Amino acid sequence: MVALRVSCVFLSVLMLLNAQGNGSLTAQIQKMIPKANKDGPYLGLVIPNLFELYPLLQSPNNTSNNRTIDIAGITTQLLLSFFNVERVVHYGVVGTVNPSINRGDVTIAEYWGHTALWSWQRYGQGPEDVLPLKSNGDYTREFGYLNFADYTVNVTDGSSYDNLLNNIWFQPEEVFPIDGTPEEREHAFWVSVDPLYFEISKQLEGLVLEGCINSTTCLSETPKVTIVQIGTSTSIFLSNFAY
């Protein structure tokens, strides 16, 4: 049986970006990869942060020979790693709760938030209770308090509005800016769109869009290109006005 070794080479995304400034793999890293592969196969470990890496390094079973190849955030990162990419454009189909935006409109958001990272409070806890891991600098009660019981429908008099799903709080993402310290996270909830690209896309405002695909099938309102202040993206499929 082939012994599977777990080894360590820290290919921090940030170190790569810092070293090259253009998101490509450095020559040094490119040399390390085949060297590491010669001694394989390996178990690949994907570890999101140092907090979760330390217990592994401290384990008595850690026989690490300093070669962990760490690959995460895969899609955009592969794009950045293997191609000479200057900026990333993100677009897609969206929904809205803004009544002045109609089906078929194109919106350009100035800020983006990612709203699928939640701290979900256990039953019995409320806005006055500090969230777990707060002391590590995680989990703030700054954004998006959502109490599920507030959306209870058809309650009869005297019924409690409480339920075991309790509360969630939206959480900012951990970000590792290109000009930050490698592996030292910062937090961001609203991320501004690249200012240069935002200026360029603003020129699309006023562009006349087709309202019909043929002589009989048309949108009810003439579509427009419009700037909106914020957009959100999430990892859940969301088509629920109550949310």
Sites of contact with ligand NAG (CB under 6 A): 8, 20-22, 24, 57-59, 61-62, 64, 66, 153-154, 213-217
What is the closest distance, in whole angstroms, from the C-beta atom of residue 140 to ligand NAG in the complex?
32
Kindly state the smallest distance separating residue 242's Cβ from ligand NAG, in Å.
9
* Shortest separation between residue 192's beta carbon and ligand NAG, angstroms: 24
Rounded to an integer, what distance in angstroms lies between the CA atom of residue 153 and that of residue 135? 37
Cβ atoms within 10 Å of 138's Cβ, excluding its own: 16
Q: CA-to-CA distance for 170 and 156, rounded, in angstroms?
A: 31
Of 70 and 173, CB closest to ligand NAG = 70
Tell me whether residue 1 or residue 229 sits nearer to ligand NAG (CB atom). Answer: 1
Residue 154 or residue 203: which is nearer to ligand NAG going by CB?
Answer: 154
- The least CB distance from residue 177 to ligand NAG, in Å, is 18
CB of 73 to ligand NAG, least distance (A): 19
Question: In the complex with ligand NAG, which residue's Cβ is closer, 66 or 100?
Answer: 66
129 or 210: whose CB is closer to ligand NAG? 210
Q: Which is nearer to ligand NAG, 56 or 131 (CB)?
A: 56
- Around 82, how many Cα atoms within 13 Å sit in the side-chain half-sphere? 5
CB of 27 to ligand NAG, least distance (A): 6
Paired strand residues for 226: 107
